[in-house]
Every structure is written in structure tokens, then in C-alpha cells.
């Protein structure tokens, strides 16, 4: 009986450790598209950011090469600035402190470039690389779990770890990231949903159903996106000049520009 009771106490204590703190029910938002462009070359989007009047993209090599692309926000023309082929799988990317950081998926490498795409000293990431963004002081990375890592821009060392919580559960598969006006926006891998996360608590404050983007697609584009389970939404960027967010997906032919508002 004592052994059984000890086992029950162990299970109970373990459940307490694994249980997530409770957060308020997230607000439901909708994405109202104001503009869309078709890109002239596809990309397996892993990172997306607005910088210097253009859209910058990091791609993985699952359906091509690992690249850093510059996309014209008016025409959709794609210029490849770096093509690493299949040397590594490109992942999250962000600009911070005059430098461009690009992570790799499983190779634990972090590439650093100056404004002219000249490489600097390479950094190391001890975990898988998924999404990457930054606040005013730190880089913020995801690794496909429910954790966000706040990192030193100098050496990629971990300063703190934050668990993402939706309701009363940890939200796994956090992927591409964008920090905007005090909040972290994140794609959830293999799910047509975007979430807004409070960086102080980890609570998901809002969710956005991205399924309506599928309905907006031209028939030929929708058929193409639906043809492969890998072609999921991934890529969120923000243009502070226009105030518009930019959303896309892996190998999507289009990018959508718009704003969030309460769902009706």
C-alpha cells in the first residue's frame, strides 16, 4: 500500500510540475487584407522581415536551396542575395544592431552579416533553430517547442526562457516570429493560426484564424498550396512605415498585406 501511495504521490507531483499556469482566454482576431502581391520565384519561407524598404526572406532547402532573398514589396520580384545550396537548412532571420542574423535548423550555426551581406564571425546555437526576431535589447528564438529563448546578440547565449501558454496548456510548435510594439507574433507549425504572445508572461493574448487566406487564393494557387502538406502558413513581418503586417506561407506564390481587427 505504501508503494502504491508513493507512486500516486509521484504522479501527482509530476502532473503539478507539467501543468501550465492559467492564462485568460485569447481574443479572436481576423486579418483584413489590404493588398497582395505575387512573387516571381517561390521560396520555402522560414524567416520574413521588412528592412530598408524591402521584404527579406530566409528559406530552407526542402524544395530548393537555403537562400536569403530580397523581395520587392510592389512588384514581387525576388533577388537572391545569398544561395547556400544544400550546405545547411536555413531558418529564422532578423536584423538587429545593424547586423543580419540567420539561424540553421539542425546544424547549430548562426550566420551574421553586415548591411552589405559581408559575413562576420559565426555564432553557435545549442538547440534547433526555428523562428528568430528581437526586441529592443535581445534576440528572441524558437525551437519548435513551447519555449521562447531570449538571447544575447553578442554571442547567442541564453538570458532567459519563456514558456508559451494558451489557456491552461503549453502551446507547442512555435515557429516563425515577429516582435511588434511590445508583443511577439508567432506561426504555429502545421496549423493555420497565428498567435500574439505577451513577452512578460508567455500568455497567448490573441489568435488569428488564417483559413480565410486560402479562400482568397486564385484557384490555381489554392490547388498548388493544397498539393503538399509542407506548404503551411509560415512568415510574418511588419512594416512600421505603412503599419501593415505581411503574411505568407512555405512555397506560397503570394504575400498578403493587411491589419488585424477583432473577429465578428
CATH code (residue 124): 2.120.10.30
Q: How far, rounded to the nearest angstrom, does the alpha carbon of residue 97 sit from its chain's CA centroid?
A: 20
Structural domain count, the chain = 1
**Does 13 map to a domain?**
no
Please indicate, yes or no, if residue 4 is contained in any of the structural domains.
Answer: no
d(Cα 213, Cα 61) in Å, to the nearest integer?
25
Q: H/E element holding 134?
A: strand 132-134
Q: Examine residue 19 and state whether it is found in any structural domain, yes or no.
A: no
Give me the tens of pLDDT residue by residue for the chain, a chain 264 residues long: 434 444 544 444 444 445 788 899 999 999 999 999 999 999 999 999 999 999 999 999 988 899 999 999 999 999 999 999 999 999 999 999 999 999 999 999 999 999 999 999 999 999 999 999 999 999 999 999 999 999 999 999 999 999 999 989 999 999 999 999 999 999 999 999 999 999 999 999 999 999 999 999 999 999 999 999 999 999 999 999 999 999 999 999 999 999 999 997
Give me the residues paired with residue 163 across strands: 147
The answer to whether residue 204 sits within a structural domain is: yes
CB 23 within 8 A of CB 168: yes
Give the domain range for residue 118.
Answer: 25-262
Q: Which of 58, 131, 56, 60 is nearest to 89 (CA)?
A: 60
- The string of DSSP letters for 167-235 reads TTEE---EEEEEEETTEEEEEETTSSEEEEE-TTT-BEEEEEE-HHHHHHS-HHHHHHHHT-TT--EEE
Rounded distance between C-alpha atoms, residue 97 and residue 115, angstroms: 10
Task: Give the pTM.
Answer: 0.92
Return all residues near 223 (Cβ < 8 A) that are at least 6 apart: none
Q: Which of 230, 192, 224, 196 is nearest to 211 (CA)?
A: 192
Domain-located, residue 212: yes
Is residue 31 situated within a structural domain?
Answer: yes
Amino acid at each position: 500500500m505504501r508503494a502504491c501511495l508513493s507512486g500516486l504521490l509521484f504522479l501527482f507531483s509530476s502532473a503539478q510540475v507539467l501543468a501550465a499556469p492559467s492564462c485568460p482566454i485569447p481574443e479572436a482576431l481576423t486579418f483584413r487584407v489590404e493588398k497582395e502581391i505575387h512573387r516571381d520565384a517561390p521560396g520555402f519561407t522560414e524567416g520574413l522581415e521588412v528592412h530598408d524598404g524591402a521584404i527579406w526572406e530566409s528559406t530552407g532547402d526542402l524544395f530548393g536551396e537555403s537562400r536569403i532573398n530580397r523581395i520587392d514589396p510592389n512588384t514581387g520580384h525576388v533577388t537572391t542575395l545569398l544561395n547556400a545550396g544544400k550546405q545547411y537548412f536555413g531558418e529564422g532571420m532578423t536584423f538587429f544592431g545593424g547586423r543580419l542574423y540567420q539561424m540553421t535548423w539542425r546544424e547549430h550555426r548562426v550566420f551574421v552579416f553586415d548591411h552589405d551581406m559581408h559575413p562576420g564571425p559565426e555564432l553557435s546555437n545549442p538547440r534547433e533553430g526555428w523562428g528568430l526576431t528581437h526586441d529592443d535589447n535581445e534576440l528572441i528564438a524558437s525551437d519548435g517547442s513551447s519555449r521562447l529563448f531570449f538571447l544575447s546578440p553578442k554571442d547567442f547565449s541564453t538570458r532567459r526562457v519563456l514558456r508559451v501558454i494558451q489557456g491552461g496548456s503549453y502551446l507547442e510548435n512555435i515557429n516563425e516570429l515577429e516582435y511588434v510594439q511590445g508583443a511577439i507574433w508567432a506561426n504555429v507549425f502545421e496549423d493555420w493560426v497565428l498567435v500574439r504572445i505577451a513577452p512578460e508572461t508567455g500568455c497567448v493574448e490573441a489568435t488569428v484564424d488564417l483559413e480565410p487566406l486560402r479562400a482568397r487564393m486564385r484557384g490555381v494557387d489554392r490547388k498548388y498550396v493544397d498539393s503538399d502538406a509542407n506548404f503551411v502558413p509560415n512568415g510574418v513581418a511588419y512594416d512600421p512605415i505603412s503599419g501593415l503586417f505581411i503574411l505568407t506561407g512555405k512555397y506560397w506564390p503570394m504575400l498578403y498585406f493587411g491589419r488585424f481587427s477583432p473577429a465578428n
